[in-house]
Structure 1
């Protein structure tokens, strides 16, 4: 059952010259998982809470909304309820968001991780693959079995980019690394995520990473005595010994900036794709198990991405067949990254159709 929770800050007390209170700006959020997933939806909700503290707005959210007909219904209801801007925070909400936007041209819509825009629909995402390059560097140096396990959600470009970026980085420091992937076809299903992690460990993986939203894979890593990485938020409290670091999604500055634009009338449809340099992607502190030399190496990768001297997808890059697909001195363009649908050398398995 979809649960709707409404929260708000105090109503504006400033009066206009006519003595009438200014109307609050209403902002809606649609989440694919529960806010208690401690991952993707949790971090978006942290951004919503920060927005409430910063601006005089009234926010609402609907959690655990499936990607499909339910999403369109929920988004339409939010628009009908008078929200001036609505953030739809999962890839599968792209087409439903566009359909509703056509019927409500005065409402502003922001879609996370999508690529389709219109006059009143903007898009935004994080360059999570930059964080994956740091994870790959750490994993490549710390693995003993040379097998890294990857719990993946859906075979969309965002997820494939992460797998490839991590594999490229790991093999730069350890050419013997193989990355094994298990697809769970869900963003949030602790049972499936945990089972996938167990299967990967049984296949020899001694480091587990994930592009799913619960701490379950990391908790399995903790119980089985191997290492892992948190996803979307710092998950160290769930696996204090196993977590080596985590990619943290920090949406708060973006939400504040975009809602301010709606409030002052400057909002325009745009595509935002920010990463480590802008602070939309943040790395959690290193776990105690990460050796000093590995920390230094990971820090150098991070610094080089931020200063622009290194790109996680700069050549030479080989595909699974061992063919050079990105020459030395070249880098995969943002356009090609946005539709990436192939594995690099070192990934074991095939991409589901």
Structure 2
């Protein structure tokens, strides 16, 4: 079968012929129809992600059709269109992942940038009926990460004021769509006026350019006093100002850290205002199912920036070099 393989550090993604996997008992073989890229994939190609090993078939997001089952007990899945939960070993707790947790797309787990993948039958869910394969393939990592951040950790509810920092990437756009569907009033930041305008067209109430010296003050005024929930995936020096625009009892939820670490914070502001600062990552299989139900209920359609054929994976991931995309980058397979 054809697969996209990363052979080593600073090497381009290339198409290779590799063996088609055979599903073991408890697994199914999925013929992938589409996959999507995440910032994680970009970091892997840069050699800046834990546990990198080569060669690697990267990719964590995928959707397709079950074509084979490893045991007769799971043969009822054959012919069904599915989306793949993107990790292994979350564990029993919904509060946090186990020590055995890992996201697919690095050895020993084959990723989704391939024509076929064998996965545990417990890691597949039916494709939302209102979405095509390309749309469905955008959901696993970015969709689940933001669903957990917004609802499980951030406890967002109707009429909450929500701030999404750095809108434009997959997680930021999903967060915007989810929060609006839940009846929240949403504000955004970006370094791009074009991305702020696109967010406004999707339903954001207002947006501020984070390159402005007074971006936090602008947001505080626009929101009428601050935010109940703030979602952030950058950290860095700007994180300190989030404390000032978080309402008493508010929640700041973060994942990633593209702008650095958390700076020194004024603890008095945090405890006096009962502000919660919460870390998160991906989500449990049960949350994956809840996310798909939420998407189906609200008929949410993921925003796709561009669709590439599988053979152009290197071209697609290079678009991430300057973060110019708005929404997800998708690879069509077959």
TM-score between the two structures when normalised by the length of structure 2: 0.37
Give the strand-richer structure, 1 or 2: 2
Rg comparison, structure with higher value: 1
- TM-score, with normalisation over the residues of structure 1? 0.36
